[in-house]
Amino acid sequence: MALVRIPPVLRPSVGGEREVEAAGNNIGEVLASLVANHPATKDQIFGPDGTLNRYVNVYLNDEDVRVLDGLETVVGAGDHLVILPAMAGGS
Amino acid sequence: MEGSVQNPNQSTTAAELIADIKLRVAEVAPAEIKDGLPEGAVLIDVREDGEYATGHIPSAHHIPRSYLEMRIENIAPDRDTPLVLYCAGGVRSLYAAKTLVDDLGYTDVKSLNGGITLWKDGGHPVEIPKTLTPVQADRYSRHLLLSEVGLEGQQKLLDAKVLLLGAGGLGSPTALYLAAAGVGTLGIIDGDVVDRSNLQRQVIHTEDRIGTLKVESAAASINALNPDVEVVQYPYRIGPDNIMDILPNYDIVVDGLDNFPTRYLLNDASVRLKIPVVSASILGFEGQISVFSPYEGPCYRCLFPVPPPPELAPSCGANGVLGVLPGTMGLLQATEVMKLILGQGDTLVGRLLLYDALATSFTELKIGRDPECPICSRSPDAISDSEMGVFPDYDAFCDGSH
């Protein structure tokens, strides 16, 4: 089980949780498991072609998965994922 | 003398001591370094503050002899750094060199023969440092006590020009603390007027200034805090029509913008002009901050090549923000600005810091340059003037996100 940090804009889609657990051996499987449990997150994370939306970054521990093996990146038990959409709010 | 303690070295005279040091510490003549020191070598003026203020050799660092052991590692942490010390006449620098060699283990320390006196006699240039007034020396005394700031650093702060985009939640604390620290010029861009609902977090404004322009209100607070600071007011929104006129006047930009189109516009312009941007954003109980230093680290487009759709990019007004959160994030921005000005420490270039106020947790993520970044993968000169003159229609680009 990996622990996935949910950004504020996605929390309404996961029942308000800040972190959720999700199963899977790689990033793609963990995110698919997240989407299966919380279908409202699907269109926010994945594009129509099944790839990560480009305005969403996913980090395994502190590394961007795009510089690792993308959705194929292996996830171990106890790893942390961070889903990070861009934020703009300063006022 | 009766009752006195016998010191085995008491027979050594000052002249003998100097002669002994000269056997071990090499001296250089002014002519040898008049065209600059070898690569990597460091020149250090070990005279007292008052002497340094009358003029020093250009490029010299200043560490008074009495602070030498405490401060030398800030300038030369590597013991093998070649050092050249000088004083007024070449004697104190020999003593200082002996200390660095014998007590601290520096391996390559030389002394300037004849000191700055012989340097001047040779007709070589002297730079007269700007000095603080007695009032400034008092105001910034806690900075002057820090070896990482000191007189040199305070002067850098006073000479610095920082542009704040927005006098809102993030801009308020950033502006106040940068002003207190003595950052000499603060430009502030904001077209809004003070509203009562701002006062829960925008601490630079006051109840009696509701309805006045935010830039005027901010300038009033800053001038009341520190009259050293010149505030340049831009009472309008930054946009494609004015950004290239305003940005070149500043060393660093502080981004507290509340909308995506302008964040992308700012990114492209700052990369073109090679001006670092200290960028933060806040929402609810969470904030994120990084430093985008063009060509040194990633730019905003490397991190987020495209903006999110409007439903994923709510503005603070619609979603609420904890009143103290912009204080925390704004002061992290102010800290990064000061480090950039002073050239001290490790900035957030290449790192994105997330703060979760409810959990009281910080998360640090690595962010790298995108070799295919549409902006910073190209040299600024490769971007033609005509391209720079025509910015994309950002409002249509991510309509509704602000």
The CA distance from A91 to the nearest CA of chain B, in Å, is: 4
Q: Return the CATH number of B14-121, one of 3.40.250.10, 3.90.1150.10, 3.40.50.720, 2.40.50.140.
A: 3.40.250.10
Select the residue of B168, B359, B365 nearest A91 (Cβ to Cβ). Answer: B168
Residue range B56-103, pLDDT digits in tens: 999 999 999 999 999 999 999 999 999 999 999 999 999 999 999 999
pLDDT at residue B292, rounded to an integer: 97
Q: Which of B87, B302, B316, B376 is catalytic?
A: B316
Query: What is the bridge-based pairing of β-strands B351-356 and B286-292?
Result: antiparallel
* All structural domains of chain B with their residue ranges: 14-121, 160-397
Reported CATH class of domain B160-397 = alpha beta
pLDDT at residue B183, rounded to an integer: 98
Instruction: Give the separation between CA B314 and CA A84, rounded to whole angstroms.
Output: 14
Q: At B220, phi and psi to the nearest 5? A: -65, -45
* All structural domains of chain A with their residue ranges: 2-85
Residue in this structure with the two tokens 């129509």, named with its chain if needed: A48
Q: pLDDT under 50 in chain B at which residues?
A: 1, 316, 388-392, 394, 397-402
Report the amino acid identity of residue B148: E
Question: Is A17 near chain B, with CB under 8 Å?
Answer: no
Cβ proximity of A6 and A83 under 8 Å? yes
Residues of B within 8 A of A68 (CB-CB) are none
Instruction: Give the separation between CA B9 and CA B74, rounded to whole angstroms.
Output: 34
pLDDT at residue B383, rounded to an integer: 62
Cβ within 8 Å, pair A87-B282: yes
Describe the crossing of helices B325-342 and B150-159 by its angle, rounded to 10 degrees.
110
What token pair was written down for B225?
A: 């805090």
Q: Return the CATH number of A2-85, one of 3.40.50.300, 3.40.250.10, 3.10.20.30, 2.40.10.340.
A: 3.10.20.30
- The percentage of residues in chain A with a pLDDT greater than 70, rounded to a whole number, is 96
Cβ within 8 Å, pair A62-B358: no
- The partner residues of A64 in beta bridges, in order of sequence, read A59
